[in-house]
Amino acid sequence: MSVPLIPREALFGNPDRANPQISPDGTRLAWLAPDEGVLNVWVAPVGDPSAAIAVTKDRLRGIRSFAWAFDGVHLLYVQDMGGDEDWHVYAVAADGTGERDLTPIEGVQARIIARSRKHPGSLLVGLNDRIPQLHDVWRVDLATGERTLVHENPGLLQFLADDDFNLVLSVTATEDGGMMMLAMQDGQWTPIANVPQEDSLTTAPIAIDATGRSFFLIDSRERNTAGAFTWNLDSGERTLLADDPRADVDDLLVHPTERRLQAVASTFDRTRWQILDDDLAPDLAALDALGGEVQVISRDDADRLWTVALVQDDGPVRYVLWDRSTQQATHLFTNRTALEGLTLAPMHPVVLRSRDGLDLVSYLTLPPGSDSDGDGRPDAPLPMVLVVHGGPWARDEWGYNPVHQWLANRGYAVLSVNFRGSTGFGKAFVNAGDKQWAGTMHDDLLDAVAWASAEGVAQPDKVGILGGSYGGYATLVGLTFTPQTFACGVDIVGPSSIITLIESVPEYWKPLLSQFTTRVGDISTEEGREFLWARSPLSKVDAIEKPLLIGQGANDPRVKQAESDQIVAALREHDIPVTYVLFPDEGHGFARPENNIAFWAIAEQFLAEHLGGRAEPVGDAIDNSTAQVS
């Protein structure tokens, strides 16, 4: 079966509407939608979404996330300039008036630390204006923008506050790559728990409860997978509430006003909810029956109305308004109406086995019509693209994935693998990736390619590799360390030298450098630098034999433009062809839809040339962007 080409605009353009959130009083809905082609926040009465108005007026990058303030009057959002991640916090009234930059300091990064129903007209914000590496805590008035210093940061990475805006808990890094949790006692930060390096990516405090004397945390100490716990600061008692032997707890559902933990989610191959409060059981069961994986986005203060996302793999995300009093769901909208009714491809969870016996949870998407018996294997081997996630301390999940759908629609099998070092599968799995960049982490990707060839999924000579950030690094590793495995590669904001990557991290990442030392390598010793250079694609650039496409944002604060510049220069010095696409107004990834679509248009032609899939004509995609192609 040959299906029509899905336009890139439908997959990678702005969503029609997304992320609906109910106001605290339950009378209004807010969501993201384009206004003059740029994502902004819209507000409508809960009973009349058609009466929505745009309350923000962003005309550049679009707003990606927002939240209601607890006064029910203001909405909060963050925005940077050109992808530099120097976030500013903004507030705007729900009628679109009084928009204000609450943190109008250039070259400074702001973070929202806490909102409170007891103090609905203000919030706590972190600012690194005094010392670039550290965020001091300020209280900011939403109506006037007036700031008051609450706490001068003595060297801490994270703060948790109670509903009275008292700082209760903090976290700092330790020299061995671990963490220390501290509690405020008698006006001083007092250590309460050491988190060893082996648990530092799978243990974290999440929120303070209503009493202000207990907190919720996920914790992997003395176990493998992280469970959900409560910790009483007065008694020191730590109580396990829920866990999953196969996966870490990764989502917590907390009552909006009573601050009780009511349900937790974990994801091995698919997300599973465990209910701790029987009061929610009918709601989650009814929502589950609607189809798709349930994500509760927001709840009003009365806990009567919820906004919920129903995620599916072969269609757009559906959003509903859930009324607990009537047990009825009202359809709001999908995020991409252009995809409704189209033939999209299901995503198949598969668990592969690495050469040394680890389970690799992976996701396979096949072109529509290529799997006539529906067994998750194509009728004949296909050209394949291995899509590698970033992080690397992140993971791939089941659900609607625009890159998977785009590639499958163009005729490729698409495989994403959670290689060792990925999070979500317990500390033993994530720690197995320590100091294994371009080592066993890459072996896992090779094992996934070998599996796909053995299973008749992939044509062995037509496998491409694509990824962003760490996935971009993995692409470069694939073409330099194993040049015969992949037919081509697409690197998006990937580091080419681990040494220069670590040397150029943003100032506010420097307190975390001990984690890089223990998990990636030590740039402070000659032996460590030799090890990191040997694991850097730049050191083996002359081994590249296959075509390479690189995309980079000029303002990227994490993986600087120099990472792409230096490998492009080295390739050209060796007369090795490379296509380089630079966006002067982007950062770590491409936020503006015009730029995103332009890059995928270039990538589509690149993959079609070297793997043989279908391609939508480029048209005016590049002309509409800021892409500089060389």
User: What is the Cα–Cα distance from 616 to 610, expressed in whole angstroms?
Assistant: 15
DSSP output for 587-604: BSB--SHHHHHHHHHHHH
Catalytic residues: 469, 556, 588
Alpha helix stretches (DSSP H) within 357-503: 402-409, 427-431, 440-454, 470-481, 498-503
- CA distances to 13, 256, 410 from 601, rounded to whole Å, are 12, 43, 12
d(CA 386, CA 611): 12
CA–CA distances in Å: residue 471 to residues 104, 167, 422, 441:
34, 37, 12, 11
Amino acid found at 569: A
**Is 618 buried (19+), middle (13-18) or exposed (0-12) by CB count in 10 A?**
middle
Alpha helices in 254-349 (DSSP H): 281-288
Q: State how far the alpha carbon of 503 is from the alpha carbons of 127, 529, 562, in Å.
A: 23, 11, 12
Containing 135, the helix (H) or strand (E) segment is strand 134-141
How many Å separate Cα 93 from the centre of its chain? Answer: 28
Q: Which two tokens stand for residue 549?
A: 């496409």
Q: Which secondary structure element, helix H or strand E, spans residue 170, and what is its range?
A: strand 167-173
Q: Which among 305, 275, 311 has a CA at the least distance from the CA of 292?
A: 311
* Distance in angstroms (rounded) separating the CA atoms of residues 422 and 361: 10
Among 219, 202, 257, 139, which Cα is nearest to 515's? Answer: 202
Hey, which residues does 532 pair with through a beta bridge?
none
Tokens 């490729």 belong to 412
Task: Give 245's contacts (C-beta < 8 A, 6+ positions apart).
Answer: 224, 225
User: In which residue are the tokens 């976290």 written?
Assistant: 171
For the chain, the maximum distance between any two Cα atoms, rounded to a whole number of angstroms, is 70
Say which residue the tokens 């670039």 belong to: 132
Cis amide leading into 392 (omega within 30): yes
Q: Quote the CA–CA distance of 145 and 139 in Å, as a whole number.
A: 9
Handedness of CA 447, 423, 472, 591 (dihedral sign): positive
Beta bridge partners of 172: 180
The position carrying tokens 């009202």 is 330
53 has which bridge partners? 43
Q: What is the C-alpha end-to-end distance of the chain, expressed in Å?
A: 37
How far, in Å, CA of 348 to CA of 451, rounded? Answer: 15
Measured CA to CA, the distance from residue 489 to residue 466 in angstroms comes to: 6
The backbone region for 37, taken as left when phi is positive above 0, alpha when psi lies in -120 to 50, beta otherwise, is: left
Residues 317, 57: Cα–Cα separation, whole Å = 25
Residues in the chain: 630
Say how far apart CA 433 and CA 116 lie, in whole Å: 39
